[in-house]
């Protein structure tokens, strides 16, 4: 499909949707603790979206070609689960890491973001993977400006992940977003700088690297959705929705509780 360039009121609506998605994660953060089930996290987020925000949980019953309808309102991906983990009876344990992926629809526009949470007392290895993944996302965001290319994002993410001994998932990527959940362009998290689609003001897309502690290879579970590392190594993910502006970029999925860009990273956002 052609890339949709957003203007004026559309950008304003995307700012609202992005903030609301991030505020769901702010709301749920105190509840991501040992002993809670992923199903309970889903229920709490669903009720907050519907009853408090007046938003629609975009994942609920979402069924792209080749997939069964997604049965829940958020994605909860634990430890070796890379993405699309379905909430249920699984209880979070001390030492787990879990990615909560939130997409809301407000006034017809989508806001999409995710964070990886450390549950209780987490190992140094799991903490380091999560931190490097967060840095990868921000290094990718730093590349976004008019005239830059999709490959610039992938190249810097891949370089940082590999420098830390990690691998980058190839099969799943960021994506354009707006009135549709998934639009063009695809934003790969690996690749070669100076290649791919050029960015122009008004483009809006997600950057959401999935970084594995082991090898990059994946497999799908029998539920038709959950993606895990083939070697059962840990995986982490962070996601923001980003607007290309006239002079650079604007991160749309920000809220009071959103963690800022690491000050330790080189360069400027």
- Are 71 and 86 within 8 A, CB to CB? yes
| pLDDT of 262 above 70 | yes
pLDDT band at residue 267 using 50, 70 and 90 as cut-offs: confident
Mean pLDDT lowest for which of 1-10, 139-148, 188-197, 226-235? Answer: 1-10
* Residue of higher predicted confidence among 156 and 267: 156
pLDDT the model gives residue 266: 85
Q: Is the pLDDT of residue 269 over 80?
A: no
Q: What is the average per-residue pLDDT within 4-33?
A: 98
Task: Kindly report whether the global pTM for this prediction surpasses the value 0.95.
Answer: yes
Tens digit of pLDDT for each residue in 185-237? 999 999 999 999 999 999 999 999 999 999 999 999 999 999 999 999 999 99
CB-facing half-sphere around the CA of 204: CA atoms within 13 A: 32
SS3 at position 207:
strand
- Parallel, antiparallel, or unpaired: how do β-strands 218-220 and 210-212 relate? unpaired
Q: Cα separations (Å) of 166 from 73, 188, 232?
A: 30, 16, 14
Task: Name the fold adopted by 8-251.
Answer: Creatine Amidinohydrolase (3.90.230)
Residues contacting residue 112 through CB under 8 Å, at least 6 positions apart: 18, 21, 58, 101, 102, 103, 177, 181, 206, 239, 241, 253
pLDDT in tens, 30-49: 999 999 999 999 999 999 99
Pairing relationship of beta strands 183-187 and 210-212 according to DSSP bridges:
unpaired
Average pLDDT for 107-123: 98
Average pLDDT value for the chain: 97
Residue range 75-87, pLDDT digits in tens: 999 999 999 999 9
Partners of 78 in the beta sheet? 98
State residue 268's pLDDT score: 60
Report the distance separating Cα 72 and Cα 62, nearest Å. Answer: 9
Are the C-beta atoms of 74 and 84 separated by less than 8 Å? no
User: What's the CA angle centered on 40, arms 110 and 35, to 5 degrees?
Assistant: 130
Residue 12 CB contacts under 8 Å (≥ 6 apart), including other chains: none
Burial class (CB in 10 A: 0-12, 13-18, 19+), 40: middle
**SS3 state of residue 203:** coil
Question: What percentage of the chain carries pLDDT values higher than 70?
Answer: 99
Tell me what percent of the residues of the chain surpass a pLDDT of 90. Answer: 97
Checking phi first, is residue 8 left (phi over 0); if not, alpha (psi -120 to 50) or beta?
A: left
pLDDT confidence of residue 46: 98
Determine the length of the chain: 269
């Amino acid at each position: 499909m052609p890339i949709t360039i957003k203007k004026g009121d559309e950008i304003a609506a995307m700012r609202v949707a992005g903030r609301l998605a991030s505020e769901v994660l702010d709301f749920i953060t105190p509840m991501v603790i040992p002993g809670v089930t992923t199903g309970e996290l889903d229920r709490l987020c669903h009720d907050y979206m519907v009853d408090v925000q007046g938003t629609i949980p975009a994942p609920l019953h979402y069924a792209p070609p080749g997939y069964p309808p997604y049965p829940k309102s958020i994605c909860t991906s634990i430890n070796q689960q890379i993405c699309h983990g379905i909430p249920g009876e699984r209880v979070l344990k001390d030492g787990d890491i879990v990615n909560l992926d939130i997409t809301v629809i407000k006034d017809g526009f989508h806001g999409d973001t995710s964070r990886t949470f450390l549950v209780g007392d987490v190992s140094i290895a799991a903490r380091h993977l999560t931190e490097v993944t967060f840095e990868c996302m921000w290094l990718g965001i730093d590349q976004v400006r008019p005239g830059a290319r999709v490959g610039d994002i992938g190249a810097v993410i891949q370089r940082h992940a590999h420098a830390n001994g990690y691998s980058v998932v190839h099969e799943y990527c960021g994506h354009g977003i707006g009135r549709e959940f998934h639009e063009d362009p695809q934003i790969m998290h690996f690749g070669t700088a100076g290649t791919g689609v050029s960015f122009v003001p008004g483009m809006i897309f997600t950057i959401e690297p999935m970084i594995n502690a082991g090898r990059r290879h994946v497999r799908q579970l029998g539920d038709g959705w959950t993606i895990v590392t083939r070697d059962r190594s840990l995986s982490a993910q962070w996601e923001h929705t980003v607007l290309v502006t006239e002079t650079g970029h604007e991160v749309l999925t920000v809220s009071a509780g959103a963690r800022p860009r690491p000050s330790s990273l080189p360069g400027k956002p």
